[in-house]
Structure 1
């Protein structure tokens, strides 16, 4: 019976830590673009903009209702065949686009829920005082909704980090790709995937710690 090779685990851990920055970069960039798009989607749906609101709802339904891996493959191996502008698209960029589009759908629902938690009377009062819809959102509703949204958005970010593990399917060398390469060359799959789990667990635990700190700060601010 094969024994668990702790020395290989420690060696692989050192190798994988070099690729953590790639995972974090993928996740942070995707979160940034995802939040920007989610914010636009949320405003469109809440403002009930004709046609655009219906399109936004279809967008959210599509990306929440299909697997992330299928979306990445559809983008990288499918659309790249029919859209000339995507011919030179590399795996790293494709993953960012895919994760951003996917996270935007989830983050938009988080933002909509947070905005809905703010008393509608405040929006009505702001409009009655002559503010535009967007002024009222910026000055009154969004600052209050942020406090509610932070915990859920942090969870969304954790999902992005975990989703970034699929980057290896598009040829991006990150944590999972490094583990697979080492496991295949040394035939130590148990140690390799144990290492993967430990690294991702540490990353998600760190995100959870940051979330709790943010909640404390926001509770003091309000």
Structure 2
């Protein structure tokens, strides 16, 4: 009779599962950067209450919040090839519908998802900065752009880093869904390794430990970034 629980299998499996860690981190990093760019754009659109664009931004955020992450990945995975095919038929172009790698779909889907959540963080952080500071900037003949760049945005970043850290950690964990579109990330690699011996409980413990350590390291690094970003506040308080 075989072992009910096999710690030795877990130890042997760690190196194999870790082979897929670079793929997971790459997807999380690239989609996080793109999501942050989207968040900045959307948050400033809503902060400035730009006509037409602001209502569209609200719809975008509402849709992302109201639909599961897996559904969004599937919409991108199946929607983009249809979109490219329609363009080819309409304009006679020759975009290779089958040539788009799966990892690109994953990055686009996760970036769109992260951008919606991060934009709300950025907008609330912008609103948290005292409006009187903007008026003070105007009083010394600063333009709106100069006031935002030199005064408002630096404070906004300091306020936004803790919730943005949570969003990034969530994004790392959400990469576990990309195996559904044939990407060999940590989860897919774990399923492959686990299927050879049907030791799925042990292999998912391995996956849990890897995600836990990665998220702990990211959280620690971002806490240091937060301390650096808010260094001016400490000087004022002292």
TM-score, L = length of structure 1: 0.94
Q: Is the 8 A contact 1:5 1:191 kept in 2?
A: yes
Q: Indicate the residue corresponding to 1:39 in structure 2.
A: 40
Larger radius of gyration: 2
In the alignment, which of 123, 126, 146 is matched to residue 115 of structure 1?
Answer: 126
> Partners of 1:93 and 1:166 in 2: how far apart?
14
> Partners of 2:17 and 2:186 in 1: how far apart?
6
Q: Indicate the residue corresponding to 2:76 in structure 1.
A: 75
SS of equivalent to 1:83: helix
Moved over 6 A (4+): none
Relative to structure 2, which stretch is displaced further, 45-54 or 122-131? Answer: 122-131
Aligned residue-pair number? 222
> Partners of 2:35 and 2:147 in 1: how far apart?
23
> Partners of 1:219 and 1:128 in 2: how far apart?
25
Q: Does residue 209 in structure 1 map to residue 220 in structure 2?
A: yes
Change (3 A) 1:198 1:208: same
> Partners of 1:8 and 1:217 in 2: how far apart?
42
Q: Does residue 6 in structure 1 map to residue 17 in structure 2?
A: no
> Partners of 1:63 and 1:175 in 2: how far apart?
25
C-alpha deviation, 1:82, in angstroms:
4.2
Change (3 A) 1:170 1:145: same
- The Cα RMSD (Å) is 1.7
Cα deviation, 1:203-222, whole Å, max 9, x if unaligned, reads: 11112211322233334343
C-alpha deviation, 1:57, in angstroms:
1.2
> Partners of 2:220 and 2:177 in 1: how far apart?
24
Q: Indicate the residue corresponding to 2:22 in structure 1.
A: 21
C-alpha deviation, 1:116, in angstroms:
1.0
Q: Does residue 146 in structure 1 map to residue 157 in structure 2?
A: yes
Relative to structure 2, which stretch is displaced further, 118-127 or 166-175? Answer: 118-127
Q: Is the 8 A contact 1:79 1:86 kept in 2?
A: no
Q: Is the 8 A contact 1:168 1:176 kept in 2?
A: yes
> Partners of 1:141 and 1:80 in 2: how far apart?
41
**Which blocks of at least 5 consecutive residues in structure 2 are unaligned?**
86-94, 234-238
**Which blocks of at least 5 consecutive residues in structure 1 are unaligned?**
none
> Partners of 1:97 and 1:159 in 2: how far apart?
16
Q: Is the 8 A contact 2:31 2:111 kept in 1?
A: yes
